[in-house]
């Protein structure tokens, strides 16, 4: 059962005295405004998604969401990709044009899992994923194929860490020291200029340890020379809020701030430690994680998204997500009530097994979310007439000033008249909700 039909049924159910349904979306206007203001202004807009396998795998919705942004605004780079799941082929699996790049692991190169519990090295990363070079009869080495004019190498500085060489297309660029004398691990980053302005040109980067001490390299962040959307994949399979709480560290906070996010989307259901059928445990963990993100990323807007209805247990979790979003003034998107359940989605060809989406499912949800965010942003840009980031009386005052001067042709019919006032009032009213 699709969106418009859901809305109609919700109205009928309300008239019949049934339990009120969750909104399909709420509070998006204020959250999406900074991202779209950057994008519409010809600047870099930075989007991160914290999620589980539904936001990680090749056929996931997030790659399709990213592609819609790239199609309209251009690509500012492939963003943050953990070395632990660097390989991917969205082109073959329907996500296109890419969701991972070639990684050639030499001797002494190790990576974390991309699913399940965090290991200690993952506490310094946003997704629990890490890579490490170790001395294994020879110095460890690693070769990556990357896109972008700038490639940010994200590594961890820690006690006992060693130095490593960075080569670009076979030429030594620098040697990075990862050792700390004492204290907790710290985020390290090195910005490598590839000299490639074309965002579709590959560069070859090689890491090689220069001692017997281990080197932790977690990810690369790819930045193109152009403006547009930069997407950061911060997801890990099989994990809910409790798992991500292991990364509530200073090192991870510093890393996240370096991504210069405009918008963070959080899409996590209850996994191990979250009480799969105990909403109170899930609520406490989700609140803790969300509040940590808000404290560490002041000014970054946030939207909480439910999962699609692959199991009925997601329903009570969707209520929790809505409550947490409302209590904190965050955005809320409800995938759960778009369909009646697994059987309907499976009949449409959207489900790949029990939980995950097919390429068609990823395309549907990616397109749906993009349209939802964009519609809210279009209204928000109108409602925030004076451009101060708020929707208030001063916007009405500014609009009336523009209208009286003939500069408020919102419907592009060549004149400023009552119909433009209608457009403004509709957008302003929507932004207040």
- Give mean pLDDT, residues 395-409: 87
More confident residue, 390 or 331: 331
| pLDDT, tens digit (0-9, with 9 covering 90-100), for 255-284 | 999 999 999 999 999 998 998 789 999 999
Quote the percentage of the chain above a pLDDT of 70. Answer: 94
Report how far Cα 190 is from the mean position of its chain's Cα atoms: 22
Lowest mean per-residue pLDDT among 67-71, 73-77, 427-431: 427-431
**pLDDT band at residue 418, thresholds of 50, 70 and 90?**
confident
The residues, any chain, with a CB within 8 Å of residue 175's CB and separated by 6 or more, are: 163, 164, 165, 166, 210
Contact of 307 with 269, CB cutoff 8 Å: yes
As a whole number, the mean pLDDT across the chain is 91
Rounded to an integer, what distance in angstroms lies between the CA atom of residue 360 and that of residue 338? Answer: 15
The upper half-sphere exposure of residue 102, i.e. CA atoms within 13 Å in the direction of its Cβ, equals 9
Domain boundaries, the chain: 3-294+349-376, 394-431
Note the residue count of the chain.
433
| pLDDT, tens digit (0-9, with 9 covering 90-100), for 226-247 | 999 999 999 999 999 999 999 9
Q: What pLDDT score was predicted for residue 13?
A: 32
**pLDDT band at residue 94, thresholds of 50, 70 and 90?**
low
Contact of 27 with 330, CB cutoff 8 Å: yes
| pLDDT, tens digit (0-9, with 9 covering 90-100), for 273-332 | 998 789 999 999 999 999 999 999 999 999 999 999 999 989 999 999 999 999 999 999
User: 3-state class of 135 per DSSP?
Assistant: coil
More confident residue, 325 or 408: 325
Query: Which CATH number is correct for 3-294+349-376, 3.40.50.970, 3.40.50.300, 1.10.10.10, 2.60.120.260?
Result: 2.60.120.260
Q: What pLDDT score was predicted for residue 96?
A: 66
Rounded to an integer, what distance in angstroms lies between the CA atom of residue 39 and that of residue 35? Answer: 6
Q: Tokens 């009646």 identify what position? A: 340
Contact of 55 with 49, CB cutoff 8 Å: yes
CA-only gyration radius of the chain, Å = 23
| Whether pLDDT at 12 is above 90 | no
Rounded to an integer, what distance in angstroms lies between the CA atom of residue 225 and that of residue 200? Answer: 11
**pLDDT band at residue 173, thresholds of 50, 70 and 90?**
very high
Q: What pLDDT score was predicted for residue 2?
A: 40
Can the peptide bond before residue 426 be classed as cis, meaning omega within 30 degrees of 0?
Answer: no
| pLDDT, tens digit (0-9, with 9 covering 90-100), for 55-66 | 999 889 999 999
| Whether pLDDT at 344 is above 70 | yes
Rounded to an integer, what distance in angstroms lies between the CA atom of residue 151 and that of residue 251? Answer: 20
Q: What pLDDT score was predicted for residue 6?
A: 32
| pLDDT, tens digit (0-9, with 9 covering 90-100), for 141-157 | 999 999 999 999 999 99
Contact of 132 with 139, CB cutoff 8 Å: no
**Strands in 169-227 per DSSP E:** 171-177, 179-180, 186-193, 202-209, 215-223
Element (H, E) at 289: helix 279-296
**pLDDT band at residue 11, thresholds of 50, 70 and 90?**
very low
- Give mean pLDDT, residues 406-421: 86
Q: What pLDDT score was predicted for residue 75?
A: 95
In 3D space, the residue among 108, 88, 91, 95 whose CA is nearest the CA of residue 67 turns out to be 95
| pLDDT, tens digit (0-9, with 9 covering 90-100), for 102-116 | 888 899 999 999 999
Q: What pLDDT score was predicted for residue 234?
A: 98
Q: What pLDDT score was predicted for residue 18?
A: 38
Contact of 308 with 336, CB cutoff 8 Å: yes
Q: What pLDDT score was predicted for residue 93?
A: 63
φ and ψ at 273, to 5 degrees? 90, -10
Q: What pLDDT score was predicted for residue 95?
A: 62
Number of H helices, E strands in the chain: 12, 20
Rounded to an integer, what distance in angstroms lies between the CA atom of residue 151 and that of residue 65? Answer: 23
Contact of 49 with 256, CB cutoff 8 Å: no
């Amino acid at each position: 059962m699709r969106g418009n039909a859901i809305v109609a049924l919700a109205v009928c159910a309300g008239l019949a005295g049934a339990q009120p349904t969750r909104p399909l979306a709420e509070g998006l206007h204020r959250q999406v405004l900074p991202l779209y203001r950057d994008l519409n202004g010809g600047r870099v807009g930075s989007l991160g998604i914290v999620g589980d396998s539904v936001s990680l795998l090749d056929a996931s919705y997030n790659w399709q969401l990213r592609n819609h942004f790239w199609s309209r605004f251009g690509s500012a780079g492939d963003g943050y990709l953990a070395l632990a799941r660097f390989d991917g082929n969205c082109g073959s699996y329907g996500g296109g044009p890419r969701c991972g790049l070639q990684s050639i692991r030499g001797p002494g190169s190790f990576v974390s899992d991309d699913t399940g519990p965090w290991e200690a090295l993952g506490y310094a990363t946003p997704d629990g994923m890490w890579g490490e070079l170790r001395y294994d009869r020879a110095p460890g080495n690693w070769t990556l194929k990357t896109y972008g004019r700038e490639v940010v190498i994200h590594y961890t500085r820690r006690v006992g860490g060693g130095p490593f060489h960075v080569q670009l297309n076979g030429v030594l660029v620098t040697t990075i020291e990862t050792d700390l004398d004492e204290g907790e691990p710290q985020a390290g980053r090195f910005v490598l200029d590839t000299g490639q302005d074309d965002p579709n040109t590959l560069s070859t980067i090689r890491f090689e340890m220069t001692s017997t001490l281990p080197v932790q390299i977690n990810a690369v962040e790819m930045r193109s020379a152009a403006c547009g959307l930069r997407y950061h994949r911060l997801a890990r399979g099989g994990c809910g809020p409790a798992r991500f709480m292991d990364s509530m560290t200073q090192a991870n906070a510093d890393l996240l701030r370096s991504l210069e996010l405009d918008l963070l989307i959080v899409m996590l259901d209850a996994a191990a430690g979250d009480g799969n059928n105990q909403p109170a445990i899930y609520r406490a963990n989700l609140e803790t994680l969300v509040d940590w993100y808000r404290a560490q990323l002041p000014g970054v807007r946030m939207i909480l998204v439910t999962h699609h209805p692959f199991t009925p247990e997601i329903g009570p979790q969707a209520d929790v997500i809505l409550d947490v979003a409302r209590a904190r003034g965050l955005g809320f998107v409800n995938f759960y009530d778009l369909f009646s359940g697994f059987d309907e989605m499976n009949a449409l060809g959207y489900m790949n097994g029990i939980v995950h989406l097919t390429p068609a499912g990823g395309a549907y949800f990616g397109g749906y979310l993009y349209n939802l965010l964009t519609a809210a942003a279009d209204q928000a840009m109108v409602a925030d007439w004076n451009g101060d980031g708020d929707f208030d009386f001063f916007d009405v005052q500014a609009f009336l000033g523009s209208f009286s001067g003939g500069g408020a042709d919102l419907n592009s019919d060549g004149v400023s008249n009552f119909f433009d006032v209608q457009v403004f009032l509709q957008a302003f009213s929507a932004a207040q909700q």
